[in-house]
């Protein structure tokens, strides 16, 4: 895990990675901006419709609060969604440098599948976090329980998303075009262990919570997943021989 993290950090200086990082950064900001504009005009229309005084000021205040909360709590959803669209490009760069033989046999999933994977990721993230919301609220009284629960849930989700980004290029059991990407076959050598997947997800979930670093986190996550998936595959093949 540590080795994969350090290798991923080292490759951030790669020109192709920097260009992909810029794409993810700009599109994420654009989506946040669109969301911010939407959260202004919808309350503004509602306040005008109900003839409330100072509707413009109130709408701006509501938009500011909602956008701020979105940046804090939903940036992970937006970033992983955008990353899914360009995931093949990122994984390809890492494989070309560290696993050239695997890069040559990889099958590019394409942007449409990346979009479908991104939407499936958004659905899982929203659904599971909404289901866990009562638990978050109950654990608020403990001070630390709510953050632990939040990061645990999202570590599981992020770990799966990042694994699937790599598996989409290689695994014959990857269900292309299906929201449920991977089969549950234990013998699938393109899946990493649950503990490693959780560690990967937790690392990226924590990085996504750090201002400014959170823009690097999705790229680091995709690169780490690439190293972990390929190393796990190599270890399983060695064990079977």
- CB environment 29-40: b (16+ within 10 A), e (fewer): eebbeebbeebb
Q: What is the pLDDT of residue 118?
A: 85
Q: What is the pLDDT of residue 47?
A: 54
Q: What is the pLDDT of residue 151?
A: 92
Q: What is the pLDDT of residue 186?
A: 44
What residues in the chain have per-residue pLDDT under 70?
35-74, 172-188, 241
Burial class of residue 193 in the structure, from the number of CB atoms within 10 Å of its CB (0-12 exposed, 13-18 middle, 19+ buried): exposed
Q: What is the pLDDT of residue 237?
A: 76
Contact 114, 84 (CB under 8 A): yes
Q: What is the pLDDT of residue 210?
A: 85
Q: What is the pLDDT of residue 233?
A: 85
Q: What is the pLDDT of residue 2?
A: 87
């Amino acid at each position: 895990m540590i080795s994969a993290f350090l290798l991923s950090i080292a490759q951030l200086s790669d020109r192709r990675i920097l260009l992909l990082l810029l794409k993810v950064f700009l599109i994420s900001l654009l989506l946040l901006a669109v969301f911010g504009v939407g959260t202004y005009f919808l309350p503004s229309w509602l306040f005008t419709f109900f003839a409330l005084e100072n509707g413009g000021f109130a709408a701006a205040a509501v938009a500011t609060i909602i956008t701020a909360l979105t940046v804090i709590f939903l940036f992970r959803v937006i970033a992983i969604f955008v990353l899914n669209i360009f995931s093949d490009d990122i994984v390809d760069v890492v494989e070309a440098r560290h696993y050239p033989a695997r890069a040559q046999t990889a099958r590019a999933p394409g942007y449409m599948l990346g979009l479908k994977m991104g939407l499936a990721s958004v659905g899982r993230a929203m659904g599971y976090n909404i289901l866990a919301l009562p638990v978050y609220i109950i654990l608020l009284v403990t001070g630390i329980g709510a953050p632990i629960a939040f990061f645990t849930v999202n570590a599981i989700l992020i770990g799966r998303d990042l694994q699937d980004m790599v598996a989409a290029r290689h695994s014959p059991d990857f269900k292309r075009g299906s929201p449920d990407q991977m089969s549950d076959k234990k013998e699938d050598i393109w899946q990493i262990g649950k503990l490693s997947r959780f560690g990967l997800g937790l690392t990226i979930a924590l990085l996504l919570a750090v201002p400014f670093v959170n823009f690097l986190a999705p790229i680091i996550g995709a690169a780490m997943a690439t190293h972990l998936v390929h190393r796990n595959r190599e270890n399983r093949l060695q064990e079977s021989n």
